[in-house]
Amino acid sequence: MSVSGVSVISPLTINSSSPRASTEVAIAVLSAVADLGLSKPLSVVCVGTDRSTGDSLGPLVGTLLRASGFQGTVLGTLDHPVHAENLAALPINVLSNGSAILGVDACLGARNEVGSIMVRPGPLRPGLGVRKRLPPIGDLYIAGVVNVGGFMEYMVLQNTRLALVMKMAQVIAAGVMRADSLLRSVSRSDSGATQGSSDLTLAAPETAALHSLLLEEYDRLR
């Protein structure tokens, strides 16, 4: 993305052990929202189950968001997880009436990717890592690489370290909170320009304000 001749390279893959990881997650979410031209606030669908350590990343993020007072809708917590058995029955499409939908899930990857957090535009496709076909979710997604994939995926998820999953969940939740707060500030400052519009796309003043926020946050990281 380019703003006034300045190139903003979004950190779409983040090392969760970095001291600036949550800020990098926030910037990546803001960048994805801006690139997609979506409206806000965010609604978050956290996929996974507390019955598997590795697969508990999503429910942990949802629980942390709820506990932190996240202003948008959150589906998927430790108490009420969103998983393969109930995903298709959830009213996820209703959320898109007034928000950009962010999906969150755990995934498996290469050994050198474990602990990485990926932020991508486009829908989350849960279950692919364990060879399940589930409905796609949302407009953008966050996937956390919790362990090594390629062999006996269910067993690997069961034997994933909780400490790593918890740390990644804290980083993701903090980043999503920060991104949503900034998105809401853009919405408030430009509400006059878009008052009465139900379109999900950003108006020009909102786009400019969001790009300005991206530049400010990016400069803080350098």
Rounded to whole angstroms, the Cα distance separating 48 from 94 reads 20
126 neighbors 87 (Cβ within 8 angstroms): yes
Which residue's structure tokens are 């919790």?
146
pLDDT at 199: 42
Cβ(13)–Cβ(118) under 8 Å? yes
pLDDT of residue 117: 97
Query: For the whole model, what pTM was predicted?
Result: 0.83
189 Cβ neighbours under 8 A, 6+ residues apart: 209
In angstroms and rounded to an integer, the radius of gyration of the C-alpha atoms of the chain is 17
pLDDT given for residue 198 in this prediction: 38
Spatial distance between the Cα atoms of 65 and 83, rounded to a whole number of angstroms: 18
On whether the CB atoms of residues 176 and 139 are closer than 8 A, the answer is no
pLDDT tens profile 210-219: 666 666 665 6
- List pLDDT tens digits, range 185-203: 776 655 544 444 434 444 5
Looking at residue 209, what is its pLDDT? 64
Chain position carrying tokens 């950190």: 11
Q: What is the pLDDT of residue 6?
A: 30
Round to the nearest angstrom and report the end-to-end CA distance of the chain.
17
Tell me the fold of 10-22+41-181: Rossmann fold (3.40.50)
Element (H, E) at 147: strand 140-148
3-class state of residue 188 by DSSP: helix
pLDDT of residue 39: 58
The pLDDT score that the predictor gives to residue 16 is 96
Mark the ranges of the chain whose per-residue pLDDT is less than 70. Answer: 1-11, 39-40, 92-98, 127-132, 187-222
